Amino acid sequence: MHKDKDSIRRIAIVGGGTAGWMTAAALAKLFEHSDCQIQLIESEQIGTVGVGEATLPHLRFFNQRLGIDEPEFMKAVNATYKLGIEFVNWGQLGDAYIHPFGDFGSPINGIPFHQYWMQAQQQGSNTPIGDYSLPVEMCKRNKFMFPAQDRSLLSTYSFAYHIDASLYAKYLRGYSEALGLVRHEGKVIKVNQNSASGFIESLDIDSGQNIEADLFIDCSGFRGLLIEQTLETGYQHWNHWLPCDRAIAIPCESTSEPLPYTRATADKAGWRWRIPLQHRVGNGHVYCSDFISDDEALDSLLSGLDGKPLAEPNFLRFNTGRRNKMWNKNVVAIGLSAGFLEPLESTGIHLIQLGIMKLMEFFPNRQIASAYTDEFNRVMTMEVERIKDFLVLHYNATERNDSEFWKYVSNMNLPDDLQHKMDLFKTTGRVVKYQEGLFLEPSWVAVYLGQRVQPSNIDARVSTYSQAQIESVLSRFKMGVDAAVSEMPSHLDALSNVAQNNNDGWKNASMSLYGD
């Protein structure tokens, strides 16, 4: 058997939160038939952050690659299906729109659908753009069905899950240990570096053990035990653009059928999430401590709960931003140790997954040539920066001025790239297009139009169509959506049929938000 003498033989993962166990599972699978030893160290005493329940469609791809059984997974983590996020009170108090995992309409003669929709609005129509999206209608009518695998209308969306993240980590722990991963309970108390290269050589645990490895994955959460506390990699702070710095999380009883979408309700100085699981509802309030006190934030959160709280509130603090390098020397930071973006678009677990996939793609040998680290850092930085812009958009694109917080975010200076994107949309209705990155045209359209960004001009090619022509195309599409959704089973029915589902949810799993 070919074995490169420079191959990495030992990998140590520090941390057993969602990041640690997702990494562990993926690497255990990757090295299933090799003698590469993978160890994970976690400390029950320190614990995990214990939040992170709304996911993105990409997670299906991850699970599928691990060979996990979908019904078993759904049962283990009490999952419900998720078709998008409803944003309430963002453009103005009283507004609501859904950012779906799918497109709105489809382009006509090479011109994006939303241009026709905007023209129709100018001509007096008041049909919301969501009426032309299958997943939005499914959300509104509490329906769920797996997307079709043909090119029909029924294939034009994707879906994700709401999960109990601590159960997911537990599930992946079982999976990884079955593949031979060794877990150590204990607290890392000392990190030993090579004096010349600065590479980490081993970790001392409070149990007295010393763990040596060639490659270290830092999944130690916000503290960044290896990447920051040891290697002092540095951090770019983004709190001037995303000023929320605290959160409170609390689960409560559910009082109604679970909805197939997450809800994000804008509050006085931040926003509240509502994530329906099978057995309970996850809730939280993300806020900016400069504008609201912890007590006030808690009151607002508790007053909006569906049912009785099921635990004590969990208070969290964070610094929005990203590590200067997510891979430094022989340490790869994955999860909260790599940076933090508030969970407004459920991107935390997705970035963990992406970090793992990129690590696997650029899996190094022991020398760790800069080609690997440079590419990993380049790609991850681009992803995170683009997500950041998209999150900032939610705050800045608002007409709200009912609190100091909203006055600040609606008037703040924007990152240059985002300023250009918004200027282009405001003056022409065009979305800046790119090939790589998580949020593409449908997502930008959802937020711009959902939050009242009205372009001063639209594509001049559309203005030559008559009102009747445009109306006829739009109404045909809407009728198609209506008819398709009417035939679908309810979300609850779909959930109760999970056991019969033959891994159908994995079938068109891909690394796309929109199901293409």
CB of residue 438 to other proteins, shortest distance in Å: 14
Q: What are phi and psi of 96, to 5 degrees?
A: -155, 135
Per CB under 6 A, 221 contacts ligand FAD:
yes
Per CB under 6 A, 181 contacts ligand FAD:
no
Per CB under 6 A, 440 contacts ligand FAD:
no
Piece of the chain touching ligand FAD by CB under 6 A; list 12-20, 192-200, 387-395, 485-493:
12-20
Per CB under 6 A, 343 contacts ligand FAD:
yes
Nearest residue (CB) to other proteins, 58 versus 184: 58
Q: Which of 91, 147, 258, 335 binds ligand FAD (CB under 6 A)?
A: 335
Per CB under 6 A, 225 contacts ligand FAD:
yes
Nearest residue (CB) to other proteins, 303 versus 435: 435
Per CB under 8 A, 381 contacts other proteins:
no
Nearest residue (CB) to other proteins, 255 versus 457: 457
- What single-letter DSSP state applies at residue 257? P
From the list other proteins, ligand FAD, none, pick the one residue 500 interacts with, judged by a Cβ distance below 5 to 8 Å according to partner type: none
Q: Is 509 exposed, middle or buried (0-12, 13-18, 19+ CB in 10 A)?
A: buried
Piece of the chain touching ligand FAD by CB under 6 A; list 174-182, 218-226, 365-373, 411-419:
218-226
CB of residue 432 to other proteins, shortest distance in Å: 6
Half-sphere exposure of 463 (CA within 13 A, CB side): 7
How many residues are present in the chain?
A: 516
| Whole-number Å distance between alpha carbons of 266 and 274 | 12
Per CB under 8 A, 411 contacts other proteins:
no
Cβ–Cβ under 8 Å, residues 325 and 373:
yes
Q: In the stretch 416-455, what mask flags binding to other proteins with x, by CB under 8 A?
A: ----x--xx--xx-x-x-xxx-------------------
- What single-letter DSSP state applies at residue 147? P
Using CB under 8 A as the binding rule, the residues of this chain from 101 to 140 that contact other proteins are: 110
- The amino acid occupying position 390 is F
Per CB under 8 A, 2 contacts other proteins:
yes
| Beta bridge partner(s), residue 216 | 12, 331
- The amino acid occupying position 137 is E
| Whole-number Å distance between alpha carbons of 108 and 493 | 35
Per CB under 8 A, 197 contacts other proteins:
no
Residues 322/59/306/246 CA torsion (nearest 10 deg): -10
Per CB under 6 A, 348 contacts ligand FAD:
yes
Per CB under 8 A, 375 contacts other proteins:
yes
- What single-letter DSSP state applies at residue 286? E
Measured at the alpha carbon of residue 281, what is the angle toward residues 166 and 451, in degrees to the nearest 5? 110
* Residue 231: both structure tokens together: 């290697």
Piece of the chain touching other proteins by CB under 8 A; list 149-157, 202-210, 265-273, 368-376:
368-376
* Cβ atoms within 10 Å of 454's Cβ, excluding its own: 12
| Whole-number Å distance between alpha carbons of 330 and 507 | 36
Q: What one-character-per-residue DSSP string does 330-356 give?
A: TEEE-GGGTEE--GGG--HHHHHHHHH
| Whole-number Å distance between alpha carbons of 78 and 313 | 21
3-state secondary structure of 78: coil
Q: Which of 459, 471, 504, 516 binds other proteins (CB under 8 A)?
A: 459
Q: In the stretch 41-70, what mask flags binding to ligand FAD with x, by CB under 6 A?
A: xxx--xxxx-xxxxx---------------
Per CB under 8 A, 466 contacts other proteins:
no
| Whole-number Å distance between alpha carbons of 202 and 180 | 21
Q: Which residue has the tokens 């008037």?
A: 411
From the list ligand FAD, other proteins, none, pick the one residue 14 interacts with, judged by a Cβ distance below 5 to 8 Å according to partner type: ligand FAD
Distances (CA, A) of 149 to 139, 154, 155, 242, 327: 20, 8, 6, 38, 37
Using CB under 6 A as the criterion, which residues of the chain lie in contact with ligand FAD when the complex forms?
14-20, 41-43, 46-49, 51-55, 165, 187-188, 219-221, 223, 225, 247, 249, 284, 316, 318, 335-337, 343, 346, 348-349, 352
Using CB under 8 A as the criterion, which residues of the chain lie in contact with other proteins when the complex forms?
1-4, 7, 30-31, 33-34, 65, 110, 360-365, 369, 371-372, 374-375, 378, 420, 423-424, 427-428, 430, 432, 434-436, 456-457, 459-461, 463-464
